[in-house]
Structures are given as structure tokens and as C-alpha cells.
Homo-oligomer: A and B are copies of this chain.
Amino acid sequence: MKIDENWLKLKSPDFSAYDGMDPEKKLMLVGADPFFPDRCIPEHIIEATKKALDEGKTHYALDNSYAVPELKRVLVKKLKEFNGLDVDPENELIVVPSSAFGLFVGIRVCIRPHHGDEVLNIDPGFAENFNDVYQMGAISVSVPTYMEDGFQLRIEELEKRVTPHTRCLVLTHPNNPTTTVYKREVLERLADFLKKHDLMVVVDQSFERNIYEGNEYITFAALPGMRERTISVFGTSKDLGLTGFRVAYMVAPKPVIDILKVATFNYVGPTNTFAQYGVAAAYTDPSYVDEWMTIFAERRRFGYEQLNAIPGVEVLLPEGGFFFWVNVSRLGTSVGIRDYLAKDANVGVSPGTWFGENGEGFLRIMYGTMRDTGKYKEAILRIKDSLSKLPVKA
């Protein structure tokens, strides 16, 4: 069979480890899907989507920038007020069906396949970014970050790895899985680095609204001189919880958007039409996210205390997102501990190795799932009981 089997070399999440879990007792802290599997979307969003259906908004959304006019208007306002970006919606904006697609196509535009082009990827990081680079015929260069720095970027680690073949950097901000909200001085030094080497940057802002007190969130494209070299990818799945809507958008300089329009037309076409009206309603009144953040903040504090109380386990207080990046390297391997927790605690967590070569020895534990905080706490306590039984390596 004449097929490209290279794909099968990609690291993809293996969910079969969860298959043997007791269906009655199991609690899953895996997917980045707010309150999954419970109902959570506020009525004004549901109603706006239903209204669009009733009004016959079921045709292709083929307007310039692939946005329905209502969403276009709302996004311009949101980008200005929330992100500090003045955006020309006809030339600097495009709506796409997911941030996964936005990241793929954003990286794709920066590289020329099979020219030996290199992409700097922060590791631990979002696995699809490593895969995307590899599978489009470029080289993903892992840039390590360290727990002792709170996983902030060390510019010298970038300097060590930049070559004449380097085309761009991918920045997930806040980082998934480390939760890091990058500090202003770090981002300013990153900006200098990008200018010095004339690089593009693809910034994934999926969790931009999930920022905890004491952390300042900076939209990278809003830094002086960065607009012209930044491809910003904004999702609606994580921070707005609209995972099933499949609506994301990108902001970039006009020459990039000109290409993104062609690429998106060929690769996937427009985005769901009526879902865009739901997203417009969410941005018009996103106050429910503040309520969600209050819930998340309590769960964050609880998990942080309980997990750090386990002998041999270390976790930093999350800065963004709704998950923990937990160092369990003194107890075992990522996959080993994941498998153990599935069996012993009936709790599903993600092995750190899903997030790059530097993820070994870590777990990602999602605290944004399920409606019932009591159940979440039970899951954390079960993890605590199970891990406390394990011997601690020196």
C-alpha cells in the first residue's frame, strides 16, 4: 500500500492505559476541556448559537477573514481591550476551525518544507507543535526550561540553539503543560533575541484568560516591534470553554494573513457559521470565566497543598491554565506512575512524556474537569494515598 508511514513515528497520546479502569469509580484528570463531561456553557452563548440556526445562518462563512460580521466586530473590540492590539479585520485577522489548525498553519507559513529549516520549540511544550514541524519536513529544536526557574525562558538556551537555518520560535503562553506566565523582562529579552536573529514567532494564547493573581499577562504581539514578526493564535476552547464549537482565530501582519487565507482555503475552508455567533456572545459577556476562575483558584490551592505533601513529589503553584505540572521523578517514570495511578487510584492523569523529551519524570494533572469540586478533591486525595505508598528515590 503506497502510504506515508512516517506518520506512525509521531508520538501521540496513548489512551489505552485508561481502558482497564473501573468505570464506576474512575475519575479523569486528563483533557483540557473545562468541566468535562458536565454541562457548563452559559445560556447566552447557547441562545445566540440557536438564534443563528433559527435565522438561517447555515451557509458558508466565506466573508473576508472567514468571520461572520458579528464576530469580526466583537473580535476587533476584544483584541483592542484585552490584548492591546489594534487590528484591521480585513487584512490582519483570520478565523480558523481550531488553535491546533492555527498552530499547524502558522508554523507551516514560516518554514519551507525540506529546506533544512529549523523551529525552536520550548520543551516541555505542546506535543502537536513538535509533530507539526517534523511532519512538514522541518527540524524541531527543543529548548529546555527548568523547574528551578519556574520554567521561565533562559535566553542563553535559545542563543545556544539558533542557527542560520532557524526560522521561528513557537511560544505557548501561558505554557502548556508547565502553566508558566512569562515575565515582562523575559519577553522583552525574547523580543531582542528575535530581532537580532530576524525570526518569526508563533504564539499560542489558548489559556490567556486563565491567569492567577500576582501574574501579569502580556500579549507578545503588543510589545514594541513585535507585531510585525508575531503570528498570534487565539483559541476559544480552553479559556472560554467552547471546546465543541471549533472556532479559533489568528492575528498576523498582512503579508502573513494573505498567505494564511490561501492556505486555509486549500487545507480546510471556512469555519462553522452558527458557532461563530456563539463565540461572539461569549466575548460580549465573558464574565462567566471569572466565576470559573474562582472555582479553579480554590482547586489549585487544594491540589497544590495536597500534592506537595506527598513524600518525593514537588509541584509549583500554577500561574495559568487549570492543571498541575507535577515532578514525580523520585517515584518513577511518567508512564509508570500514570499506569500505577490508573490501576491503584482509578484516577487518570497524563504522563509528562506527552509534552516532549523534557517531560520525563512529570505528570500533568488537570484540575479544570468535572463540575463537582468534591469529586475533584477525592481524585487528588486518591492520588495522594497511592503515591504515598511508593518508595522515594534519593
Contact = CB atoms under 8 A, between A and B. Distances in A.
A329 B228 CA distance: 46
A361 interface: no
Interface size classification for chain A: 35 or more
B98 A268 contact: yes
A244 B132 CA distance: 27
B100 A244 contact: no
Secondary structure of the A contact surface, majority rule:
loop
Given A2-B200, A113-B137, A268-B98, A245 B58 contact: yes
Interface in A177-227: 198-200
B37 A59 contact: yes
Contact of A3 (B109, B237, B271): B109
B3 A61 contact: no
Contact of A53 (B49, B101, B104, B262): B49
B4 A168 contact: no
Given A60-B237, A100-B267, 9 more contacts: A1-B200, A2-B110, A40-B58, A50-B50, A58-B243, A104-B266, A113-B114, A128-B266, A246-B272
In the A-B complex, list the 9 residue pairs whose CB atoms are closest, starting with the nearest. A244-B273, A39-B56, A114-B114, A100-B269, A58-B244, A7-B259, A101-B268, A60-B243, A246-B272
Interface of A: 1-8, 10, 12, 31, 33, 36-41, 46, 49-50, 53-62, 97-98, 100-101, 104, 108-114, 128, 131-132, 135-137, 167-168, 198-200, 228-229, 237, 242-246, 253, 255-256, 258-259, 262-263, 265-275
